[in-house]
C-alpha cells in the first residue's frame, strides 16, 4: 500500500468530511496554494482514494488505495524485461554443460532438441549428480535434466505479475519464455527468452527509482 504524507492524509480527512469540496477550498483550509496541492491531489486521485468531478470538486471514494507499484508490474509484459537464455543440446556432456553454466554466469540451462524445449537443468541438479558419482565427462545432460512436461514455462505476452507468482509457487530460479509451434499437428515450445529472479530484482530497483 502507498504510504501517504501527513498533508495527503489531512486532505483525505478534509474531503471525507466536506465532500464535495474544491481544490481552492482545500488549499484555503490547509493555508497553502492550489499549485502546492496539485501533486498531492494527483496522487490521491490516481490511487483511487479521491474522485474528481469537473466544476463540482473532490469526493472521498471509500475504496482502499491502490498499490501503484503493483499496478505497474501487472502492466509490464514478460517480453519487456526477459533476458537471453542459455541453451544446450541433449547430447552435450554434463561436464561441458557445467562449464557452459559458469562461463555464461547463469543458474539455469535450457535443453533443446532441434530448437524445441525438452528439459531444464540447474546448479542443484549438477551438484546432486556429481555427488552421486556419475562420470560427468561421459553422461549426457539429458540424463540429469528435468523433462517436459514437468517444466513451468511463461509466454512473452503474459504479465510479470504472473511470472513472479509462478517463480514463487514452483520455487524455481527462472522460467523459460516460450512460444508455441505446431509441428505435424502437435504443439511444441520454442525457447525465446528467460525470466529470472535477477530480472525481477532489476525491475524492482528501476520502479523504486522512478
Q: Tell me: the pLDDT tens digits for 11-63?
A: 889 998 888 899 999 999 999 998 888 888 888 887 778 888 888 899 988 76
pLDDT value at residue 194: 96
Cβ count near 146 (within 10 Å): 14
Q: Tell me: the pLDDT tens digits for 50-108?
A: 888 888 899 988 765 555 566 677 788 999 999 999 999 999 999 999 999 999 999 99
Which cell goes with 138?
561421459
For Cα atoms 152, 154, 159, give the angle at the middle one, nearest 5 degrees: 135
Whole-structure pTM value: 0.67
Residue whose C-alpha cell reads 474522485 in the numeric block: 51
Q: How far apart are the first and last CA of the chain?
A: 17
- Report whether the peptide linkage leading into residue 166 is cis, meaning its omega lies within 30 degrees of zero: no
Residues of the chain with CATH 3.10.580.10: 77-209
Q: Tell me: the pLDDT tens digits for 139-194?
A: 999 999 999 889 999 999 999 989 998 998 988 989 999 999 987 788 899 999 99
CATH 1.10.10.10 fits 6-66, yes or no: yes
pLDDT value at residue 84: 94
pLDDT value at residue 131: 82
Per CATH, the number for 77-209 is 3.10.580.10
Q: Tell me: the pLDDT tens digits for 118-136?
A: 999 998 888 888 787 788 8
pLDDT value at residue 129: 83
Q: Are 35 and 23 in contact (CB under 8 A)?
A: no
Distance CA 125, CA 9 (A): 52
For residue 209, pLDDT over 70 is answered with no
Residues of the chain with CATH 1.10.10.10: 6-66
pLDDT value at residue 70: 65
Grade residue 116 by pLDDT with cuts at 50, 70 and 90.
very high
Amino acid at each position: 500500500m502507498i504510504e501517504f504524507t501527513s498533508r495527503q492524509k489531512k486532505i483525505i480527512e478534509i474531503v471525507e468530511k466536506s465532500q464535495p469540496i474544491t481544490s481552492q477550498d482545500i488549499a484555503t483550509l490547509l493555508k497553502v496554494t492550489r499549485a502546492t496541492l496539485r501533486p498531492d491531489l494527483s496522487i490521491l486521485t490516481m490511487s483511487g482514494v479521491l474522485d474528481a468531478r469537473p466544476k463540482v470538486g473532490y469526493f472521498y471514494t471509500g475504496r482502499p488505495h491502490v498499490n501503484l507499484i503493483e499496478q505497474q508490474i501487472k502492466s509490464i509484459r514478460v517480453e519487456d524485461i526477459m533476458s537471453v537464455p542459455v541453451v544446450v543440446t541433449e547430447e552435450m556432456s554434463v561436464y561441458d554443460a557445467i562449464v557452459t553454466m559458469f562461463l555464461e554466469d547463469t543458474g539455469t540451462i535450457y535443453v533443446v532438441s532441434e530448437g524445441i524445449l525438452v528439459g531444464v537443468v540447474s546448479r542443484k541438479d549438477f551438484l546432486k549428480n556429481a555427488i552421486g558419482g556419475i562420470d560427468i565427462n561421459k553422461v549426457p545432460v539429458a540424463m540429469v535434466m528435468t523433462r517436459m512436461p514437468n517444466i513451468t514455462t511463461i509466454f512473452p505476452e503474459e504479465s510479470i505479475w504472473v511470472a513472479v507468482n509462478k517463480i514463487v509457487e514452483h520455487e524455481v530460479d527462472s522460467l523459460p519464455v516460450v512460444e508455441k509451434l505446431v509441428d505435424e499437428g502437435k504443439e511444441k515450445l520454442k525457447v525465446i527468452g528467460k525470466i529470472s529472479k535477477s530480472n525481477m530484482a532489476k525491475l524492482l530497483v528501476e520502479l523504486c527509482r522512478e
